[in-house]
Amino acid sequence: MIYIQLNEDNFEYDIYSLVKAFYPKEEVKISTEPTPEDAGLLFSMQVNYSDNVLTLDGREIEIDYSDRPDTKNRLKLAIYESLSKRNGKELPWGTLTGIRPTKISLGMIEDGADDEAIASYMKDTYRTSDAKIDLSLQVSHKEHELLSKIDYDNGYSVYIGIPFCPSTCLYCSFTSYPIGLWKKKLDDYLDALEKEMAFTAESCREKSLTTIYIGGGTPTSLDEEHLEKLLTLVDKYFDTKSLLEYTIEAGRPDSITYEKLQIMKNHPVSRISINPQTMNQKTLDLIGRFHKVEDIHRVYGWARELGFDNINMDLILGLPGETIEDVKYTLDEVEKMAPDNLTVHSLALKHSARLNIDRESYDDYLIENSQTHMDICLDCANHMGMNAYYLYRQKNMAANLENIGYAMPGKEGLYNILIMEEKQTIMALGAGCSCKFVADHGKTVTRCENVKDVQLYIDRIDEMIDRKRERLREDLKWL
């Protein structure tokens, strides 16, 4: 165990995240209580705050305690240097644990800073490596180009959540429920969604709709009848013809039929995801995705046959038992299909995922990701003619790396950038969804969440609409 003793409760989450980035397998405890004796500690560390001095294991650092962002940066930098010296390790993103790297670089680009100034700032303030600074700059310039056509203040996007899946994957922590248990409630759920759609369309009638994203869960876990009903409702309430992008997360091949793809094609859906995560059957079986590798090829072929010309595929690096040779095989198979987008995720072990809850059962499986893994994905994307266009990071990510999206020119996912960079208001509809109300070009972001439980969502839909109405009035002055 690693024990961090504070003189007062402050910045605990930032400290914890940084220590775990260096020591992902160690238990970390943070407390104002004295360091316990004979606790089998790997090491302990003492942090003391005062108005103008931060003391870390006897080292004094001048701070202005009233300036919290600066104090946090100085604290994390001091801890980073101490931990790096202790174990001889440097982190690719430096002290950046709970922040989206491109939010920094994109913000500086928008303020007129050049690449040299941005690189110097990220190196000095966060100890970010040269390679990750270059990646952040590349992505940020592409985002800046793509966002130039977005109306931040007079536009908005819509996210619609379908919280059902054929089954729950081993690594998943999203709000999702087995579709088999909820079939009798699907009409009630769509009725509640319709109320939210009607409210959203009326409340935002003076604004232009930029993108729609239907995610989950797995939206295509809905049967053909309910999928048609959902998309018809979307057409009824929103101007889908003028959208810059309309995405459906088709997701799991075992939830997709030719008829469902045809339904999507009959509506103005412009982008879909078909997500293998891996092309290795043994891994698919282990993580609870009950389909065959052949199903991925078949479903993808249907989508191309029907004329879908913007298809994304998601992969996850660090899945249990996968070697780098397994990853290379997946990439070879994906390249044969030639998708338009490739989104590469570093496995993040969330508290609520079965892989984390029942972790001891998987101790015998290799769980590995590295920069080498990321590099072979980059090589594959480049070979297919794709460029990086968005990235984000999560806590507890394998090897402290990142999730990164690649796309063919003109096929980038605008919604992905908008949700990560928080540049435009996103109205989120459905159980477990969270609106982001964005004001002042992203300087102010507030949230309004729906309940996660499906039955509670159905029962309390009017209450949640009232809460959104209040937030739209208070935070955005739209009503």
pLDDT of residue 35: 86
Task: Indicate if 132 and 7 belong to the same structural domain.
Answer: no
**Residue 107, H or E segment:** helix 101-110
Q: 298 CB contacts (<8 Å, ≥6 apart)?
A: 253
In a domain, 206, yes or no: yes
pLDDT of residue 350: 52
251 backbone φψ class: left, alpha, beta (φ>0; ψ -120 to 50): left
Task: Answer yes or no: is pLDDT of 357 > 50.
Answer: no
CA distances (Å), origin 351, targets 165, 220, 412, 437? 19, 26, 31, 27
Task: Indicate if 113 and 80 belong to the same structural domain.
Answer: no
Query: Which of the given ranges, 81-95, 162-176, 363-377, has the highest pLDDT on average?
Result: 81-95
**Three-state DSSP state, 106:** helix
pLDDT band at residue 100, thresholds of 50, 70 and 90?
confident
**What percent of the chain is predicted at pLDDT more than 90?**
80
Q: 443 CB contacts (<8 Å, ≥6 apart)?
A: none
In a domain, 272, yes or no: yes
**For residues 457 and 428, is the Cβ–Cβ distance under 8 A?**
no
User: Position 156: which residue type?
Assistant: Y
Last residue of a domain, one of 77, 109, 136: 136
Task: Indicate if 353 and 451 belong to the same structural domain.
Answer: yes
CA dihedral sign, ordered 81, 82, 86, 92: negative
Task: Indicate if 83 and 109 belong to the same structural domain.
Answer: no
Mean pLDDT of the chain: 92
Task: Answer yes or no: is pLDDT of 140 > 70.
Answer: yes
* pLDDT tens digit sequence for 301-330: 999 999 999 999 999 998 989 999 999 999
Task: Answer yes or no: is pLDDT of 53 > 60.
Answer: yes
Task: Indicate if 124 and 160 belong to the same structural domain.
Answer: no
| DSSP-assigned letters across all residues of 163-211 | -EESS--TT--SS-EEGGGTGGGHHHHHHHHHHHHHHHHHHTTTSEEEE
Task: Indicate if 131 and 237 belong to the same structural domain.
Answer: no
Task: Answer yes or no: is pLDDT of 216 > 70.
Answer: yes
Task: Indicate if 69 and 127 belong to the same structural domain.
Answer: no
Name the residue range of residue 122's domain.
101-136
In a domain, 93, yes or no: no
In a domain, 143, yes or no: no
How many domains would you assign to the chain?
A: 3
Task: Answer yes or no: is pLDDT of 351 > 70.
Answer: no
pLDDT band at residue 361, thresholds of 50, 70 and 90?
low
In a domain, 324, yes or no: yes
Q: Is 479 exposed, middle or buried (0-12, 13-18, 19+ CB in 10 A)?
A: middle
pLDDT of residue 398: 62
What is the C-alpha separation between 204 and 471, in angstroms, rounded? 13
DSSP H helices in 306-428: 324-337, 354-357, 371-383, 414-421
- Lowest average pLDDT, out of 78-87, 171-180, 319-328, 382-391, goes to 171-180
pLDDT of residue 312: 98
**For residues 109 and 148, is the Cβ–Cβ distance under 8 A?**
no
CA distances (Å), origin 106, targets 119, 406, 419, 426? 12, 18, 14, 19
pLDDT of residue 289: 84
pLDDT of residue 396: 67
Task: Answer yes or no: is pLDDT of 359 > 60.
Answer: no
Whether omega for the bond prior to residue 217 falls within 30 degrees of 0, making it cis, is: yes
In a domain, 95, yes or no: no
pLDDT of residue 365: 55
What is the mean predicted confidence (pLDDT) over 295-301? 97
What is the C-alpha separation between 350 and 340, in angstroms, rounded? 29
**For residues 275 and 251, is the Cβ–Cβ distance under 8 A?**
yes
Please state the separation of Cα 307 from the chain's center in Å: 28
Strands (E), 385-475: 387-392, 403-407, 425-429, 434-439, 444-449
CA distances (Å), origin 109, targets 136, 139, 441? 11, 11, 14
What is the mean predicted confidence (pLDDT) over 286-303? 93
In a domain, 171, yes or no: yes
DSSP H helices in 348-460: 354-357, 371-383, 414-421, 454-459
Task: Indicate if 172 and 71 belong to the same structural domain.
Answer: no
Task: Indicate if 306 and 395 belong to the same structural domain.
Answer: yes
**Structure-token pair, residue 108:** 């500086």
pLDDT of residue 400: 77
Task: Answer yes or no: is pLDDT of 78 > 50.
Answer: yes
pTM (predicted TM-score)? 0.92
Task: Indicate if 67 and 108 belong to the same structural domain.
Answer: no
What is the C-alpha separation between 3 and 12, in angstroms, rounded? 12
Angle between helices 186-203 and 224-237 (to 10 degrees): 10
In a domain, 476, yes or no: no
**What percent of the chain is predicted at pLDDT more than 70?**
92
Using the CB atoms, write b or e for 55-69: b if 16+ within 10 Å.
ebeeeeeebeeeeee
Task: Indicate if 390 and 248 belong to the same structural domain.
Answer: yes
Task: Indicate if 276 and 381 belong to the same structural domain.
Answer: yes
